[in-house]
Structure 1
């Protein structure tokens, strides 16, 4: 597999998609004036298309405007929007992931069910062919490598939802104190969920809950001293952990972030093997196919930190969108990422 040549990054507040040379960090293209407000990003390699979720008219999970119901489709070569997918009656699409066989685009949705759930869009017909309620306001999710199960992180709900994608039903609830973006190990044996969610209960000690996917029971708890926004597993059996840090006097209403950290754990021992400082509020994580490079989207900083995972050193910091807009209450300048 050749190395990805391009890093694509969404600016939520900027309503844009930027393209960077993956070897140099140079800006190579920028698509502006996307529908408000783009959040997550997924790359469809066989079709060379990018899918962008539009969740709210403005704001974020805890404070936002009206719910959107659109996914934009972008040609990765021409860098132009070619079509949209209307998810009605479902709304609030956020997390995106493509099935292992590249046939279905999955998206969490916050409305259309009594609460929230997961929908599956056939990539040939672009029709919704699966709809699975999760009994919570789904925001993030992660798939097992075989494509048979999904786990939704419902942010403020006291559980992670286990969804059977073949039977299209809620299979189980795993008790947690709210949760952010989780991940599944490359062999599919374990799932990892950071808890609690930011702004839910800052006084609750943060942890990563380790779940045995054969039983969907928590088998280990890894304590942390600061909050966690996301975890991601690399091809080299390392767990990337996006840790956020707050200024003194921060509260659930006013987070006041300061530069965060990327912490790396060994996936077998769950011991720390390194860490580096990154930007403000590291929200999303990616890694290169060879597992040697990590990418951290710092949503309030408007940057992406590119990390050499072998040397545990920052290779470069890419500016995506660091200038707040006067018409936006929150500056969220780097969100979803994709490697092309």
Structure 2
């Protein structure tokens, strides 16, 4: 009896110690993928300390969080051959059942809009949508273009933008919400009627972003270093800049929409361009290879994953200078915010 009491006392003491040592998750977290370590790091943005590292699949590329900040979704890419999206509980800090995206292969770009997970499926030349509420894929559309890679979904879920890297194009998918016609059965409702507009850009167009006002889409080409600017109202190419951003991997607007950051995976440079004048503002050498970019409007800074250097560079948006580095694991890339 005394031995049993002693074991119970020891167990309770251990549980108390674990509870005391556990770090409560902040309301807002930086999510950072490590391709080499196959982990997702949860980072407190106020202290820049890693709270936890959660295991993910063999080839993680991009990450997004649910609107309420409780779930993370990680695309497992495999060069277009794999078919998984990992789901992580950010509150309990544990893995949940994986989403099988088949028959869509090669999930890469990923977004979360209107309670659903939207993703590109490079291996299937398509984009798809997963509904966590029903636990099933509820929509997909082919692009017919090569290497459908990154994705951006409008806030209302009515427009999807994606870059097709090898085709050198951008697909603009628009839901026209077709209304029931004459002779429709009673109770018939509007259905999704998606239409595609293909805008030629340049081969190697991969990283892109939509301006904060939703008017323009900028995409950078890794091959010739040009930046294509698309007017989203007319769905036509408005300008092409000879920006010399060869090796361009990712592109992001600053929160105020006044500047555009372009990261080069081959040179390790971060090029800053004035969005109004289209002129280069500054070019920073931040490492040997720069990839994922994440803006932090709350602290007026940006995080840039330097995959070849195994760190994330922290950029002051006002001074346009590197102010520090953050280590989250080997070959960091995909970045996202969870919570507000």
Partner of 1:325: none
**Alignment partners' CA distance in 1, 2:122 and 2:46:** 37
TM, length-normalised to structure 2? 0.80
TM, length-normalised to structure 1? 0.80
SS of structure 1 residue aligned to 2:123: coil
Q: Do residues 265 (structure 1) and 273 (structure 2) align?
A: yes
SS of structure 1 residue aligned to 2:252: strand
When the two structures are aligned, how many residues end up with a matched partner? 295
5 Å matches for 1:135-150? 135-136=144-145, 137-150=147-160
Partner of 1:330: none
SS of structure 2 residue aligned to 1:111: helix
Aligned equivalent of 1:91, options 99, 105, 111: 105
**Alignment partners' CA distance in 1, 2:36 and 2:107:** 17
Question: Does the 8 Å CA contact 1:182/1:230 hold for their aligned counterparts?
Answer: yes
Aligned equivalent of 2:143, options 134, 137, 149: 134
Aligned equivalent of 1:241, options 244, 261, 264: 261
Question: Does the 8 Å CA contact 2:291/2:304 hold for their aligned counterparts?
Answer: yes
**Uncovered stretches (5+) of structure 1, i.e. residues with no partner:** 62-66, 246-256, 323-332
**Alignment partners' CA distance in 2, 1:4 and 1:215:** 40
**Alignment partners' CA distance in 2, 1:143 and 1:77:** 26
**Alignment partners' CA distance in 1, 2:168 and 2:280:** 27
Task: Compute the displacement of 1:39 (Å).
Answer: 1.1
Aligned equivalent of 1:222, options 241, 244, 255: 241
Q: Are residues 69 and 30 of structure 1, via their aligned partners in 2, closer, same or farther at CA, if it must alter by over 3 Å? A: same
Task: Compute the displacement of 1:130 (Å).
Answer: 1.4
Partner of 2:75: 53
Task: Compute the displacement of 1:22 (Å).
Answer: 1.3
Structure with max Cα Rg: 2
**Alignment partners' CA distance in 2, 1:191 and 1:291:** 25
**Uncovered stretches (5+) of structure 2, i.e. residues with no partner:** 1-25, 177-191
Higher-helix-fraction structure = 2
5 Å matches for 1:315-334? 315-322=323-330, 333-334=331-332
RMSD of aligned alpha carbons: 2.2
Aligned equivalent of 1:297, options 287, 299, 305: 305
**Alignment partners' CA distance in 1, 2:128 and 2:58:** 21
Task: Compute the displacement of 1:296 (Å).
Answer: 0.8
Question: Does the 8 Å CA contact 1:4/1:339 hold for their aligned counterparts?
Answer: no
